[in-house]
Amino acid sequence: MMSLLTDNAVALQALMSETIFSTGFSEKEDTGSSVSNTTTIPQPSTVTGSAEEFIYQGDKSTGVLFILRYPEYPYFSPQAEDAFVKTIGALQLTTHNVAVVNLANPHNPNDFKLIMQFFQPKKITLLGVEPASLKLPAIAHNSYMKGKVATVFNTFSFEEMFVDVEKKKLFWGEFKTFIGS
């Protein structure tokens, strides 16, 4: 499938049925072409599924999902976000090709079946989210459970790893294996 790139407002209005907002992009010099080259930073997405609405960050199409519960922040604390970007970057992942959902957001259902239905992930990382809160079987920290469709990796939140270097070492060893499999 070919990507359509345009900045023509009339064309976009004719093609799109919803209002689109973009922030955080920089436009390169106009080369005379009618196609505009832009770089975008992933913004939170609000997508309405068949039954529920999820607000998440990134791209759900790759099958890699991070589930967290940070009531004080939209996703991560600034320090945790920096650690997250560096961690996934070391494994050739970016915030553009993974999905992050914060279950502390009141719009996001705390229902594992709906999460699976909407995101259709293959690899799920629970960052400080207890499996029992999603009605999953017990999964020890820094270990994973293979299901019929997806594998769930249960680990500590970044804040817990900042406090205890041993937790960070255990996480990194297993996370590399989990993502690489």
pLDDT the model gives residue 146: 94
Instruction: Tell me: pLDDT of 112 over 50.
Output: yes
Q: Which two tokens stand for residue 18?
A: 């919803």
Decide if 91 is inside a domain. yes
Instruction: Tell me: pLDDT of 170 over 70.
Output: yes
State the residue range of the domain holding 57.
44-180
Name the nearest CA neighbour of 65 among 110, 102, 98, 27: 98
Residue 86 sits in a domain whose CATH number is: 3.40.470.10
Decide if 39 is inside a domain. no
Between these two residues, 75 and 4, which has the higher pLDDT value?
75
Decide if 145 is inside a domain. yes
Dump pLDDT digits (tens) for 119-155. 999 999 999 999 999 999 999 999 999 999 999 999 9
Beta-sheet pairing, 45-48 with 53-58: antiparallel
Decide if 34 is inside a domain. no
Long-range contacts of 110-114 (CB under 8 A, 24+ apart): 110/134, 111/52, 112/136, 114/49, 114/51, 114/52
Dump pLDDT digits (tens) for 153-168. 999 999 999 999 999 9
CB 19 within 8 A of CB 13: no
Decide if 96 is inside a domain. yes
Dump pLDDT digits (tens) for 78-109. 999 999 999 999 999 999 999 999 999 999 99
Domains in the chain, number: 1
Decide if 118 is inside a domain. yes
pLDDT the model gives residue 138: 93
pLDDT the model gives residue 50: 44
3-state secondary structure of 87: helix
Percent of the chain with pLDDT over 70: 71
Dump pLDDT digits (tens) for 10-42. 454 555 544 444 444 444 443 443 333 333 334
Between these two residues, 8 and 60, which has the higher pLDDT value?
60
Model pTM score: 0.71
pLDDT the model gives residue 3: 52
Residues facing 99 on adjacent strands: 58, 65
Decide if 27 is inside a domain. no
Decide if 149 is inside a domain. yes
